[in-house]
Chains A and B, each alone.
Chain A
Amino acid sequence: MSSGQDRTRLLKPLLFALCLLPLLLLVGRGIIGSLGPNPVEVLTHETGNWALRLLLLTLAVTPVRRLTGQVLILRFRRMLGLFAFFYAALHLLIYLWLDQFWGWSEIAEDVLRRPYILVGWLAFVLMMPLAITSTQSWMRRLGRRWKQLHRIVYAIAILAVLHVLWLVKADLMEPAIYALILALLLAMRVPWAWLSMRMRRLGSVARER
């Protein structure tokens, strides 16, 4: 156990740095002026893409643990989820500031008229309670309900993929890849959910006897 703790102590800062890398690269490109002819578009797309990628990575933790039996990676899940939220917040900030310039009537119109924007907002708003309750103390305070609350992550991921599917003009390849990965990650949970349901039912039957 202590060697595992040593390893996480080493790996956590490494993962932190890795998760920060996309942002640092964007800032670097911004400084040397290599974000291309439409920098705001690049910033929107990159932050959105990293929010979604990190969200999918977060969802990959449990299936990977089950398949490999490697429990250590569970300790990285919170960081991955929080970074997904961090990039989504940046994505939203760039949209509100550099795309809409805080024009609230246009922003409201966007939500009402454009399903992909509405779905993006829904995903982001749902991420907030999960980010807030991600601490140890909230975990303790909520007990069993913490796990139930954090199942919202499935809805968030589905909404985020819908967001990307709906914003594409013609080339569905990238969103289709995201959708496929998400479908796979969700499908992998089904056998375990089924098994644990069976176990619980068997357990209760046994108790009744």
Chain B
Amino acid sequence: MLIKKPHEIPPSEITPRHIWERRRDFLKVSAAGLGLAATAAFTGTGLARASATGIIEHIQPSPYSTDEPLTSLEDITSYNNFYELGTDKSDPKANAKFLRPRPWTLKVDGECAAPGEIGVEDILALYTQEERIYRLRCVEAWAMVVPWVGFPLGDLLKRFEPTANAKYVAFETLFDPEQMPGQRRKVLEWPYREGLRMDEAMHPLTILSTGLYGELLPNQNGAPLRLVVPWKYGFKSIKSIVRISFTETEPHATWNRMQPNEYGFYANVNPEVNHPRWSQRSHRMIGDGWLAKKHPTLLFNGYADQVAHLYAGMDLNRFF
């Protein structure tokens, strides 16, 4: 094995500070006598699992992470577009208490040889959880940097053996007005639906997220399982997923169907394609403060090197 000098280790390979700080706190708590949590901490051998306190264990760093400064946990969890929990940015946090993320089963069906169901606990145990620090760009011209915890969506999809007919992947959020009071009014067409092309879904940057800041996902961020596609506008990253289907034709996507001239199916971040109501050339970074200048928006949200080839030869102005 090659021994690297300290300065050659990329920052992404070092356990992020906030995680080891939390682990240290966690061990202190365990030592103080929280037997249950302590068991959880020491039984796993490379397998991720969540302790009783919501901390996800054995999170691996990822080379795909950015080293940009993180948006604070407070901001990430109190400024959300999650209409199922209310249309104001502050509503999802206030209504988070209604959502019950356990027990939770994900159903996978459509064009695949092995359709089935899988529980969230099994997902956490079966797939190595990685920390993926990604830029998140909302279609409303604001952005965050979020330390997601999750794993490549492709790894899960393979398990259900998609057939040659599987050209797209469709996603569906839970529909239950009891748990999601925003669904009592027909602001959007419920349940929320989204879709990806198969190659986008299998791309290593595309993850299913189970947590952020080292802990299980807060309800307002789409617990217990959400999509994260960092080169697309945030609305593609559907939350609280209960169903994934392989399809042969382009799946129904909620915002796209509602206002096709404003929200494309692809919704790739693109500073040259303006939303009819906002310029997409720049964005406000949440947490920067009010006098801070906006940041220039980059094609594919700065992930062009990794994903541009997916769209080679496509007219991005037409397929926006």
Are A38 and B83 also in contact (CB < 8 A) when A110-B279, A170-B258 are?
no
Given contacts A110-B279, A114-B277, A170-B258, contact A37 B290 (CB under 8 A): no
Number of A interface residues in the complex (CB < 8 A): 22
**Chain A residues closer than 8 Å to B290, beta-carbon distance:** 35, 39-40, 43, 98
Contacts of A191 in B (CB 8 A): none
Which chain B positions have C-beta within 8 A of A40?
284, 290
B44 within 8 A of A: no
| A6 at the B interface (CB under 8 A) | no
| Bound Cα distance A118, B77 (Å) | 34
Interface string of B122-149 (1 = CB under 8 A from A): 0000000000000000001010000000
Q: Which secondary structure dominates chain B's binding surface?
A: loop
Contact with B along A33-56 (1 / 0, CB 8 A): 001111111010000000000000
Nearest A residue to B278 by beta-carbon distance? Answer: A114
Known: A40-B284, A106-B279, A110-B279. A170 touches B142 (CB 8 A): no
* A116 to B276 CA separation, bound complex (whole angstroms): 10
Partner of B276, one of A39, A98, A113: A113
Question: Is A38 a contact of B258 with CB atoms below 8 Å?
Answer: no
- B142 cross-chain contacts in A, Cβ below 8 A: 38, 41
Question: Given A98-B290, A114-B276, A170–B188 Cβ distance below 8 Å?
Answer: yes
B83 touches A170 (CB 8 A): yes
Least CB distance from B215 to A in Å reads 19
Inter-chain CA distance A33–B287, complex, in Å, is 11
Instruction: Give the distance to chain A from B100, nearest Cβ to Cβ, in Å.
Output: 25
Given contacts A170-B187, A171-B187, contact A116 B277 (CB under 8 A): yes
A106–B87 Cα distance when bound, in Å, is 28
Q: Is the CB of B87 within 8 A of A170?
A: yes
Contact A113 B274, beta carbon cutoff 8 Å: yes
Cβ-closest chain B residue relative to A106: B279
Would B286 and A37 count as touching, CB distance under 8 A? yes
**Separation of A12 and B90 alpha carbons in the complex (Å):** 36
Q: Are A38 and B284 in contact (CB under 8 A)?
A: yes
Cα–Cα, bound, A113→B74 (Å) = 35
Residue numbers of B with Cβ under 8 A of A are: 74-75, 78-79, 83, 87, 89-90, 140, 142, 185, 187-188, 258, 274, 276-277, 279, 281, 284, 286-287, 289-291, 293-294
Interface residues, chain A, with chain B CB atoms under 8 Å away: 35-41, 43, 98, 101, 106, 109-110, 113-114, 116, 166-167, 169-171, 173
Q: A37-B286, A38-B142, A169-B140 are in contact. List 20 more A-B contacts (CB 8 A).
A: A36-B78, A36-B90, A37-B74, A37-B78, A37-B89, A37-B287, A38-B79, A39-B289, A41-B142, A98-B290, A101-B294, A106-B281, A113-B274, A113-B276, A166-B277, A167-B277, A170-B187, A170-B258, A171-B185, A171-B187
